[in-house]
Amino acid sequence: MSNAIQKLLEGKIDFEGQKLVERIARDTLVAATLVSFIAGFALQSLRVTFGLFALFVVLLSIVVIPPWPMYNRHPVKWLPAKGTKAQ
């Protein structure tokens, strides 16, 4: 149990995962802005606009901030270390 929690909190994601997170965040924020604006305009309420947008931001944060395993599907393969010479 402790090992699983530690692995989740390490925060390792690969480059492809970073691109995926960026795309998800960008697309979701654009959609959230449009939906929030239209709902707020239709109801003539800034409270609805900002409340709905805040809800989208909280949900987006739950999706993109933790280092979910889906963001580490293409781990970087490092070259083996060469032997070092003592001087």
Full-model pTM = 0.76
C-alpha 35/C-alpha 41 separation (Å) is 10
Q: Which residues contact 27 (CB under 8 A, 6 or more apart)?
A: none
Contact 32, 53 (CB under 8 A): yes
pLDDT tens-digit series, residues 32-69: 999 999 999 999 999 999 999 999 999 999 999 988 88
**pLDDT of amino acid 23:** 97
Q: What is the pLDDT of residues 10-33, one digit of tens each?
A: 778 899 999 999 999 999 999 999
% of residues, the chain, pLDDT over 90: 59
DSSP character for 45?
Answer: -
User: Which one has a higher pLDDT value, 8 or 38?
Assistant: 38
